[in-house]
């Protein structure tokens, strides 16, 4: 059998410390390696495999689309793109859609749109306030938006026009606001930065401040959107409406797609100001439509709320049993467990050996982002493996 790790070190750029597992097949919440060993997948492709692996509804949609039309230039109308745009608008508070290919691209588009809005409506304001501990992507502008030094330090000079301020502090946003500010960009819950849940009033107060100043509120729902938090979009749980929202991860069930949605007043692009060769192609949009339609028609957000609650309850029991668990937090199926010591790396390895995939969030924390279609049985299975692994710690 080919030694894939050796091939990787020979041919692939060393951008990630991979885990010793080559996945060759997936179905539902499970994946298999070359030897046929089965794993319960609580990483879900980093919150991407919303309907699990190779969901029949998605596989059917892309199989049909791939025989009909894969790509055409965006100078022509295509059916899947417009159907998905309509479905997104009809099920959100936003009015217009543009598709890209990833989360970073969606945020780049949001940044451009906010700057264009600033030029047109805010006397040339261009600055965007973002929060410390956030994650907005890996392109230069989104790295500048990402308030984490570890992602920024190797790539100076970064594009200017971003201010990173304390998360969960309306005061910090207020003090950073100037005549140059055109927008505030935040994740409703910080995902990559630690599953950091803000105080209940935070988003509403930020919304009120943006209204008072006439600046835009951009919500990065790339990780929290499409049912992940137990509502179709996270903003619904906080009683606010963004002016601009970005989506990606869970939208295509694994087919690359990103989306930017805007209220009519903020959708100020005119022809020539933005575009994409691949963005919104029929294949990606067919996957997005199949995913979103299934999520909506089957009340997946409601099920996520229930099963996510069950998972958090089970983890809270483990916390009582193992005092070195210092925190269990999350909403829906975006959940983190934090430990007293830096045991996340060996814990991830031990779980892997026992057939459970979990994500290391920090040296002392792990994250669960399983497919949204899991049931209590899969949660019990995962909790059982975690219990046995923690028992040995
Ligand atoms: C993953 C993520 C991104 C970046 O998405 P890519 O598809 O990796 O470019 C941006 N924002 C948030 C909140 C994310 O979780």
pLDDT recorded at residue 303: 98
What pLDDT sits at residue 1? 77
pLDDT given for residue 12 in this prediction? 97
Residue with tokens 């694994």: 254
Q: Where are the alpha helices (DSSP H) in 33-169?
A: 44-47, 56-68, 79-90, 103-121, 140-145, 149-152
Strand partners, 38: 32
Domains recognised in the chain with CATH numbers: 4-54+299-391 (3.90.1150.10), 56-297 (3.40.640.10)
Other CB atoms within 10 Å distance of the CB of residue 237: 18
How do 162-165 and 334-339 pair as beta strands? unpaired
Q: Give the binding-site residues of ligand 1, using a 6 Å CB cut-off.
A: 102-104, 107, 135-137, 187, 191-192, 220, 222-223, 248-249
- Please, what are the averages of pLDDT over each run of 10 residues along the chain (393 residues)? 93 96 98 97 98 98 98 97 98 98 98 98 98 98 97 96 98 98 98 97 98 98 98 97 98 98 98 97 98 98 98 98 98 98 98 98 98 98 98 89
**Residue 387 is among the residues annotated as catalytic for this protein:** no
Residue 345 and residue 273 in contact, taking contact as beta carbons nearer than 8 Å: no
8 Å CB contact between 276 and 125: no
DSSP notation for 254-305: TS--EEEEE-GGG----TTSS--SSTT-HHHHHHHHHHHHHHHHTTHHHHHH
Say if CB 250 and CB 258 are below 8 A apart.
no
- Return the residue whose CA atom lies nearest to atom 15 of ligand 1: 223
What is the whole-number distance in angstroms between the Cα of residue 244 and the centre of ligand 1? Answer: 16
Residue 393: what pLDDT?
84
Structure tokens at 94: 């936003």
Best residue among 102, 135, 359 to mutate for probing ligand 1, ranked by most atoms within 8 Å of CB = 135
Q: Name the token pair of 71.
A: 């790509």
Distance CA 184, CA 268 (A): 17
Residue matched to tokens 């060393």: 14
What is the atom index within ligand 1 of the atom nearest the CA of 134? 13
Query: How much distance in Å is there from the Cα of 321 to the middle of ligand 1?
Result: 34
Q: 291: which 2 tokens?
A: 């995913």
What is the tens place of the pLDDT at every residue in 315-368?
A: 999 999 999 999 999 999 999 999 999 999 999 999 999 999 999 999 999 999
Using the Cα atoms of residue 29, residue 33, residue 39 and residue 43 in order, give the sign of their dihedral.
negative
Query: The whole model's pTM is what?
Result: 0.98
Tell me the CA–centroid distance for residue 254 and ligand 1, in Å: 13
- Tell me which residue has tokens 């304001």: 125
Active site residue 233: no
| Nearest-atom index, ligand 1, CA of 192 | 15
70 Cα: distance to centroid of ligand 1 (angstroms):
25
Q: Which of 45, 103, 128, 187 is the pocket-test mutation for ligand 1 (most atoms within 8 Å of CB)? A: 103
- CB within 8 Å of 59: residues ≥ 6 apart: none
Annotated active-site residue 294? The verdict is: no
> 248 CA distance to ligand 1 centroid (A)?
7
């Amino acid at each position: 059998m080919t030694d894939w790790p050796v091939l990787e070190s020979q041919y692939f750029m060393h951008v990630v410390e991979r885990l010793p597992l080559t996945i060759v097949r997936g179905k539902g919440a499970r994946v298999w390696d070359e030897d046929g060993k089965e794993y319960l997948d609580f990483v879900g492709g980093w919150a991407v495999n919303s309907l699990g692996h190779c969901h029949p509804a998605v596989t059917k949609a892309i199989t049909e689309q791939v025989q009909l039309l894969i790509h055409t230039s965006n100078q022509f109308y295509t059916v899947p793109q417009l159907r998905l745009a309509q479905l997104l608008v009809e099920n959100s508070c936003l009015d217009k859609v543009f598709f890209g290919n990833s989360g970073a691209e969606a945020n780049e588009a949001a940044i451009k749109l906010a700057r264009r809005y600033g030029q047109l409506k805010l006397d040339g304001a261009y600055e965007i306030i973002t929060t410390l501990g956030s994650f907005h992507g890996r392109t230069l502008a989104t790295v500048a938006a990402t308030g984490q030094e570890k992602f920024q330090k190797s790539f100076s000079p970064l594009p200017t026009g971003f201010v990173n301020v304390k998360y969960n502090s309306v005061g910090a946003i207020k003090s950073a606001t100037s005549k140059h500010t055109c927008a505030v960009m935040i994740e409703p819950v910080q995902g990559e930065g630690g599953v950091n849940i803000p105080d209940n009033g935070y988003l509403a107060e930020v919304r009120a401040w943006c209204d008072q100043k006439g600046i835009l509120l951009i919500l990065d729902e790339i990780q929290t959107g499409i049912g992940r938090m137990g509502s179709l979009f996270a903003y619904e749980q906080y009683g606010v409406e963004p002016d601009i929202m970005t989506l990606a991860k869970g939208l295509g069930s694994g087919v690359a797609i990103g989306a930017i949605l805007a209220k009519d007043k903020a959708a100020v692009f005119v022809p020539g100001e933005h575009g994409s060769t691949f963005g919104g192609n029929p294949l990606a949009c067919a996957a997005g439509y199949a995913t979103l339609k299934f999520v909506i028609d089957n009340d997946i957000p409601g099920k996520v709320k229930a099963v996510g609650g069950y998972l958090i309850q089970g983890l809270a029991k483990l916390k009582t049993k193992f005092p070195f668990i210092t925190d269990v937090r999350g909403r829906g199926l975006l959940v983190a467990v934090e430990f007293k010591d830096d045991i996340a790396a060996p814990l991830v390895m031990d779980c892997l050996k026992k057939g459970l995939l979990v994500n290391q969030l920090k040296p002392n924390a792990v994250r669960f982002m399983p497919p949204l279609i899991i049931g209590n049985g899969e949660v019990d299975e995962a909790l059982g493996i975690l219990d046995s692994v923690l028992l040995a710690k």
